[in-house]
C-alpha cells in the first residue's frame, strides 16, 4: 500500500485544541438555537424514517431555500457544508486552472490542489479589495474564479463593479457570501443576469447551524443540473434538512441575532480602532500579535500567517466573551508598551 505523494504534501487542517473558556476562533455564531426552535426540528424528525435514505438530491431542503428566495428548486443545490460544494465546483468546469484572490478562504486552494488542478493567485490590493481587471486578464483560461465577499479573513465586502468585471468574462465565478447576512448586502440576484455566476451561502454562521453542516448555492439550472450529475447521492441527511426548513421559518430570530453581533463587532472595533480593520462579517482582523497571550488568558482566536503574519482574526462572541477579550487585549497592549 502506498499513499499518494500529493496527499503526503498536505498539512492537516487544524484548530486550537483545548478547553478554552472563550472560543473566538471559528467564526461560529455565539448563539445556540433556542430550545423552542430545537423542539420544532425534533417534531420534523419524528415524522421521518431514520432507516431510509434522505432524498437523493436534497429536494425538501432545496424547496425550502427556493421558497425563501423566490426561486425554483432547480436554482438551488445543497451540500454537507459549503466545503462539499467547493470540492465539486473546482472540477465542474473546463479550463486550465482555478483563480483565487489571497489572502482568502484556504479551502479553494485546498480542493483545487487535491484534485491536481493548478491554482493561479491574483492577490488582493493593499486595502484587501479585488482587482477586477487583473482577475479578468487571467480568467480566460480558468475553469472557475473564487471570490469571497465579505472576504475571510479580512472581513471586507468586495466592490460590485470589480465583481462585474470578472462576470463579464463569461468564466464561471463563485461568489462566496458565507457572511453576507452581517454585511446587509448580497449580489445573488445577479444570477438572473449572469449564467456564469454561482453564489455560495451557508447556514453555519448567521443561522447558528455550524454543527449541522448545511451549505448551499444559488445558480442557473444548467449549473445545478451539472453539479447533481457528479455529486455524491444522499450526502445531506434528514437532520440537516429538518434544521434548514425550521430556521428559515424563523428568519426574524436570525436578524435580531445578527444585529446584536454587528453591535458588538463595532463596539470592539471602537476600542481598538488603531489596530482593527473595518469588517462586514462576524469577525475582526486585528494587527496585533496577541495569539499566544490570549491563549494564556483562556481565549482562543485564529492565528494568521503569510501576508497577514502578526495578525489575528477574532470572532465576535457574546457580550461577556467580548468583554473578556477587550480586557485581555488592553492588558496585552500595556505589557507591550512596558516591554
Of 188, 217, 249, which residue is a domain's last? 249
Same domain? For 24 and 48 the reply is no
List the CATH number of the domain containing 89: 3.40.640.10
- What digits encode the pLDDT tens for the residues 320-335? 999 999 999 999 999 7
For residue 53, give its domain range. Answer: 35-249
- What digits encode the pLDDT tens for the residues 16-68? 777 899 999 999 999 999 999 999 999 999 999 999 999 999 999 999 999 99
Strands 119-121 and 283-286: what pairing? unpaired
Same domain? For 297 and 225 the reply is no
Number of domains in the chain: 2
Q: Residue 237: what pLDDT?
A: 96
Q: Residue 255: what pLDDT?
A: 98
Same domain? For 49 and 152 the reply is yes
CA torsion sign, 181 to 183 to 187 to 189? positive
Distances (CA, A) of 20 to 34, 132, 133, 178, 331: 23, 41, 44, 26, 18
Of 209, 224, 249, which residue is a domain's last? 249
Q: Residue 339: what pLDDT?
A: 60
Same domain? For 71 and 118 the reply is yes
- 300 strand-pairing partners: 23
> Of 143, 115, 153, 118, which is closest to residue 4 (Cα–Cα)?
115
Q: Residue 335: what pLDDT?
A: 74
Of 234, 249, 264, which residue is a domain's last? 249
Q: Residue 9: what pLDDT?
A: 80
Please list the ranges in the chain whose pLDDT falls under 50.
none
Q: Which three cell numbers mark 77? A: 443545490
Amino acid at each position: 500500500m502506498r499513499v499518494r505523494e500529493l496527499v503526503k504534501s498536505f498539512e492537516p487542517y487544524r484548530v486550537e485544541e483545548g478547553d478554552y473558556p472563550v472560543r473566538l476562533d471559528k467564526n461560529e455564531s455565539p448563539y445556540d438555537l433556542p430550545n423552542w426552535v430545537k423542539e420544532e426540528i425534533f417534531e420534523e424528525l419524528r415524522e421521518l424514517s431514520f432507516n431510509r435514505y434522505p432524498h437523493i438530491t436534497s429536494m425538501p431542503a432545496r424547496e425550502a431555500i427556493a421558497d425563501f428566495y423566490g426561486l425554483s428548486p432547480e436554482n438551488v443545490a445543497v451540500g454537507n457544508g459549503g466545503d462539499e460544494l467547493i470540492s465539486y465546483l473546482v472540477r465542474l468546469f473546463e479550463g486550465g486552472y482555478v483563480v483565487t484572490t489571497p489572502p482568502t478562504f484556504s479551502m479553494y486552494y485546498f480542493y483545487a490542489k487535491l484534485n491536481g488542478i493548478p491554482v493561479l493567485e491574483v492577490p488582493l490590493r493593499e486595502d484587501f479589495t479585488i482587482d477586477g481587471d487583473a482577475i479578468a486578464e487571467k480568467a480566460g483560461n480558468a475553469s472557475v474564479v473564487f471570490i469571497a465577499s465579505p472576504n475571510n479573513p479580512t472581513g471586507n465586502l468586495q466592490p460590485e463593479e470589480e465583481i462585474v468585471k470578472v462576470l463579464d468574462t463569461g468564466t464561471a465565478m463563485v461568489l462566496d457570501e458565507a457572511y453576507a447576512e452581517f454585511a446587509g448586502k448580497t449580489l445573488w440576484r445577479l444570477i438572473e443576469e449572469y449564467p456564469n455566476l454561482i453564489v455560495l451561502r451557508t447556514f453555519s454562521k448567521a443561522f447558528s447551524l455550524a454543527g449541522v453542516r448545511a451549505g448551499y448555492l444559488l445558480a442557473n439550472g444548467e449549473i445545478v443540473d451539472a453539479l447533481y450529475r457528479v455529486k455524491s447521492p444522499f450526502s445531506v441527511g434528514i437532520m440537516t434538512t429538518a434544521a434548514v426548513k425550521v430556521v428559515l421559518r424563523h428568519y426574524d430570530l436570525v436578524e435580531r441575532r445578527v444585529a446584536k453581533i454587528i453591535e458588538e463587532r463595532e463596539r470592539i472595533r471602537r476600542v481598538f480602532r488603531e489596530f482593527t480593520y473595518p469588517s462586514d462579517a462576524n469577525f475582526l482582523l486585528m494587527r496585533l500579535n496577541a495569539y499566544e497571550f490570549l491563549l494564556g488568558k483562556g481565549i482562543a482566536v485564529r492565528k494568521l500567517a503569510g501576508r497577514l503574519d502578526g495578525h489575528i482574526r477574532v470572532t465576535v462572541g457574546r457580550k461577556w466573551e467580548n468583554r473578556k477579550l477587550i480586557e485581555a487585549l488592553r492588558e496585552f497592549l500595556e505589557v507591550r508598551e512596558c516591554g
